Structure 1
Amino acid sequence: MKKLISCLLAGLMIIGALTACSNTNATTTASNNNKLSVVCTIFPEYDWVREILGSHGDNGEVTMLLDNGVDLHSYQPTADDIIKISNSDMFIYVGGESDLWVEDALKEAKNKDMVVINLLEVLGDTVKEEEVVEGMESEEEAEDGSEDGPEYDEHVWLSLKNAKTYCNYIASKLGEIDSANAADYSANADAYGKKLDQLDESYQQAVDSAKQNTVLFGDRFPFRYLADDYGLTYYAAFVGCSAETEASFETIAFLSKKVDELGLGTVLTIEGAKHKIAETIVQNTKDKNQTVRTMDSMQSTTSKDAESGTTYLSIMQTNLEVLKDALN
């Protein structure tokens, strides 16, 4: 698979080289204007960078690659994406299995002084491995029966504590690139960190005062970091990075029984148009009257949403309100 990705990227670079001569992309224009160019893969990174830039935002060009609702786990870069990365001053990505393409893309970087931030690497030993809990659909094994190394849970941005760590780190690296404004970046990260702390405290208070300490997802479960932050127990149909879309009868039956055993009034899902599994779980409970509600993992948030006022904090605040409902 990695060899195939390398071949595809090589092809993209050839196409990109041919088209770059005749097309001027936004990042190249920004570089020519001596603007700070930052390329991010996902929305949380994009929003954090904009918060840290603050009043210097007009002097920066911030690009989000996954900007059309494509899920992190199925994204593949275009030739234009590779060129934007190649010319950037800073590139921020998640790391893990979903970003295997990055290694080859960085080999083609034109800016040899580019600062590269891998979110998983920043967390170091505190990164969590994917966890299969009771009743969860098992992942399909490799066709040859071989076992790869540990698979890490990539959804590190869904912890407010992690977010504060990332913002401080990003601010320090932006300060290294643009030393003239380093103090402002640090101050902006500190101010934003206080907002993250306040919301973090609200989450802890909500969990401490709740009737339940268990959530149940009729979907993938990308909220492992959030659950661990506040000592929540969870059940779910799939692990966070699963590509599965259909749950077995056994999984549905187990989760429906858990809803009844725990007296849960809410079955949770993540963002997306279809919530068939969650609805099927409800229909197989005793009372069949549970509410299906959505927690947003920010895997389909776009820059257009940002232009309309959506922020990392606003989504996490909405998630808190949904969580309160699910725990009471």
Structure 2
Amino acid sequence: MNLKNRILVTAVAVFVSLIIFITPLSAKEIAQKPTIAASTFSLYDISKNIAGESAEVFMILPFGVDVHSYEPSPKEMIKISKSDLVLYSGAGLEPWIGGFKFKNRAIDISKYVELKKPNGEHEHHGDVHHKHNSVDPHYWQDLQNMIKATERITEELAQLFPQNKSLYIKNRDNYINMLKNLDADYKKKLSACKLDTIIVNHDAFSYLANRYGFHVEALSGLSPEAEPSPKNMIKLITHVKEHKVATIFFESFASDKAIKSIAKEANVKVDILQPLGNITADEAKSGLSYEDIMRKNLQKISQALECK
């Protein structure tokens, strides 16, 4: 074997050795990457933005599935239980949580935000008992609650993975600035409107309405699965006609049959308003964020309320 061939063989041997040496380390590094499970899209969006590349963040709820009726499979339960951190919405939104024993850290985010009862009263964080329908679980529609949730999740990540604390604080500040800008745009856009009420399929927007000074009339209650009563349908048709409402809303995860019936009777158009408990598979494929969808909602609400 000449010198040239010996050099080539040696080079190949070194290359193969490097591959063998490096590959197990890479696999080990991937295996050691912490996992964070979030039960709703809003918590997923916060966690993904705060953690960045330092953790694998996944949403417990599959895209396109209604948050109110989801039940995890045994396989999904195993994945959840193995996560380093589980963030769930609380306030009765996930009945499957009851009796579930988490292997690692699990946080009920509803304990760190301001909750609103269906009749408009408020319960502050720290309240002990949250049964479904005793409070409105759609608190992520309030941007101040989103700020509180962001701060709490950042604290939790910094405690669990202190080596990344500076990254989490930087990402937290950026995310909160986004939420503050979004809040300012909502205040500005909804400050002067001809109408004061939106008509929706189910009551998922009361936090938003309470924050920005408009009202919500819902076909059903806090759950989109609730059957609307004929009396409530007549009431909404009367309201739409009397106030010359141009648009009424339904959502992707609920049946649109009843709301379209009202629209036909009142001769108004129907549009989708996204409550953000989850997003559709198409929205996920498009890479839409919490901010993107909240801005879309703002545009639609401002048009429905005929804001200047």
TM-score of Structure 1 vs Structure 2, range by shorter chain: 0.7 to 0.9
2:251 is aligned to 270
Which residue among 221, 228, 233 is the counterpart of 1:239? 221
SS in 2 for 1:74: coil
Question: Is 1:312 aligned with 2:295?
Answer: no
Out of 102, 105, 110, the position equivalent to 2:103 is: 110
The CA distance in 2 between the partners of 1:192 and 1:259, in whole Å, is 38
What SS does the corresponding residue of 1:297 show, helix, strand or coil? coil
- Alignment-mate amino acid for residue 294 of structure 1: I
Unaligned runs of 5+ residues in structure 1 are 1-28, 133-147
Whether the 8 Å contact between 1:30 and 1:36 is mirrored in structure 2 is no
Counterpart CA distance in 1 for 2:132 and 2:208 is 24
Q: Secondary structure of 1:169's match?
A: helix
Distance 2:215 2:43 in 1: 27
Tell me which amino acid in the other structure corresponds to 1:237: L
Aligned to 1:227: 209
Cα offset, 1:110, TM superposition: 3.2
Name the residue aligned to 2:47.
49
Off by >6 Å, runs of 4+ in structure 1 = 29-32
Letter in 2 for 1:130: P
Aligned to 2:61: 66
Given that residues 35 and 60 in structure 1 are in contact (C-alpha distance below 8 angstroms), is that contact kept between their aligned partners in structure 2?
Answer: yes
TM-align CA RMSD = 2.3
Which segments of 5 or more consecutive residues in structure 2 lack a partner in the other structure?
Answer: 1-26, 121-130
User: Deviation at 1:150?
Assistant: 5.9
* Matching residue of 1:253: 234
Q: Percent identity?
A: 28
Equivalent residue letter for 1:255: L
* Aligned match of 1:202: 185
* 1:295-327 deviation digits (Å, cap 9, x = unpaired): 101244257744532111101010011111111
CA distance in 2, matches of 1:273, 1:122: 29
Counterparts in 2 of 1:48 and 1:306: CA distance versus 1, 3 Å: farther
Contact preservation (8 Å) 1:69, 1:300 = yes
Question: How far is 1:225 from its partner?
Answer: 0.8
Deviations 1:95-137 (A, max 9, x none): 133323224222xx333xx2x22121111xx2112239xxxxx
Change (3 A) 1:265 1:186: same
Distance in 2 (CA, whole Å) between partners of 1:159 and 1:88 is 28
What TM-score, normalized by structure 1, do the two folds share? 0.76
Give 1:276's aligned amino acid: K
Does the Cα contact within 8 Å between 1:207 and 1:213 map onto a contact in 2?
Answer: no
Report the alpha carbon displacement of residue 68 of structure 1 after superposing the two structures with TM.
4.0
Please, which of 284, 298, 305 is the counterpart of residue 276 of structure 2? 298
Distance 2:199 2:280 in 1: 27
In structure 2, how many angstroms separate the alpha carbons of the residues matched to 1:149 and 1:272? 19
Q: How many pairs does the alignment contain? A: 270
Corresponding residue SS for 1:267: strand
2: CA distance, partners of 1:236 / 1:44: 22
The change in CA–CA distance for 1:88 and 1:256 in structure 2 (over 3 A counts) is same
> Is contact 2:91–2:132 with CA below 8 Å preserved after alignment?
no
Larger radius of gyration: 2
- Give the SS at the match of 1:73: coil
